[in-house]
Chains A and B, each alone.
Chain A
Amino acid sequence: MASDEELMRAVGQGDERALASLVERYAARIHAFLTRVTGDRDDADDLLQDTWMRVARGARGFDAARLVRPWLYGIAANLARDLHRRRAVRLRAVQQGNVGVGESAATFRPVERIDMRERLARLPERLREVLVLRYFDGLDEAEMADALGIPRGTVKSRLHGALRELRQNWETT
């Protein structure tokens, strides 16, 4: 079986079957990651499509020295962060009453509506994403650092920070 990196090289040369193999290998895992990070299955569906679009667009320029798995998770994490940022901006606009005609607070899905375990949902995004990558997706610290573009020490401190926050939350409930 071809490695992820071999498949990615083939995708870079326009090999559609290699792309299909990568999608088959990773779509479910990336979708699960996105569902856990965004807390919304519909968002995860949309972001999954965007993730693979970006993979196809970036395939030709993919750095052969990198590992594919953290790169994929990095793309997905960035998209989830962008979505979160846009939502936060929209929420602020809604709260300040700056919404245009035809738009309303009802079209915005606030964070409180997310459908997943409350404890995980209450974590700040930067802590939630490292916890999900480590615990559910099994990425090691080096892979997470590569995926998120942060130093390994930061990954480590965020992981422990996530557990600390969860514990505080656990103790208060």
Chain B
Amino acid sequence: MNCDEFQQQLDERALARALATGDGAAPEPLAHAASCESCGAHLAFLRAFEAEFAALPLAPVRASIVASAQQRATRALRARARPHGFGRELVAALAVAMLALPLVVAQAYVVVESFAWLLASWVPEPILMGLGFGYLASFALGVGALYGSIPLVVAWRRRALLEWA
């Protein structure tokens, strides 16, 4: 066994807090350290490490912190246990998205009519119709998604508040 291996064994004993007691460990590394300068220095360091770290002061956790952690975790557990399908939120999202319909129709009417009037003499009618429908669909989807996200955000926020309150 070379010095590196001896030092690793000493490390493991120190980490198991068994350097001083030597519990259940072979005596070779200690005997080797007594006659080897490098391993002797390593052993001296490990003994200093043990002495210093074993005495590391640590204030106990405050009872109020533990109680608070427990309360919040319990609330989170209750919030998780509560049934929460997305069905209701989805219906609400669709309903709110429908509220965007008049806005979409009005906007589309103004834009499509204006462009149709401007472009009628330049662009063939089928292309103009395609452009109009494309615009209408993308605008309806965008505004519908924006409106529809409101109930989902509200539901998510309510659930987060239940957990964190």
Mark A residues whose CB is within 8 Å of B.
11, 14, 16, 19-20, 23-24, 27-28, 31-32, 35-36, 41, 44-45, 48-49, 51-53, 55-57, 59-60, 116-117, 119-120, 131, 134-136, 159-160, 163, 166-167, 170-171
Contacts and interface: CB of A to CB of B under 8 A. Distances in A.
B73 A56 contact: yes
A57 B76 contact: yes
Given A16-B77, A28-B60, 7 more contacts: A16-B78, A20-B70, A45-B62, A49-B69, A56-B77, A59-B80, A170-B48
B88 interface: no
B8 interface: yes
Interface string B47-79: 011001100101111100110111011101110
Interface string B31-52: 0000000000010011011001
Contact of A45 (B14, B65, B80): B65
Give the secondary structure class of B's interface: helix
B157 interface: no
Given A19-B77, A57-B76, A167-B45, A49 B68 contact: yes
Interface residues of B, number: 32
B70 A52 contact: yes
B79 to A, nearest CB: 9
Nearest to A116: B56
Contacts of B74: 16, 19-20, 56
A134 B15 contact: yes
Given A14-B81, A49-B68, A35 B58 contact: yes
A22 to B, nearest CB: 9
Contacts, number: 100
Contacts of B73: 19, 23, 52-53, 55-56
Contacts of A56: 73-74, 76-77, 80
A56 B137 CA distance: 44
Interface of B: 8, 11, 14-15, 17, 42, 45-46, 48-49, 52-53, 56, 58-62, 65-66, 68-70, 72-74, 76-78, 80-81, 163
A170 B45 contact: yes
For the complex of A and B, the 3 pairs showing the least CB-CB separation, nearest first, are A31-B61, A52-B73, A56-B76
A135 B53 contact: yes
A56 B82 CA distance: 13
A160 B65 contact: no
A58 to B, nearest CB: 9
A51 B70 CA distance: 10
A105 B70 CA distance: 33
Contact of A135 (B15, B61, B80): B15
A50 B73 CA distance: 9
B124 to A, nearest CB: 54
A46 B124 CA distance: 67
Contacts of A11: 77
A134 B42 CA distance: 19
A19 B163 CA distance: 15
Contacts of B69: 23, 27, 48-49, 51-52
A57 B56 contact: no
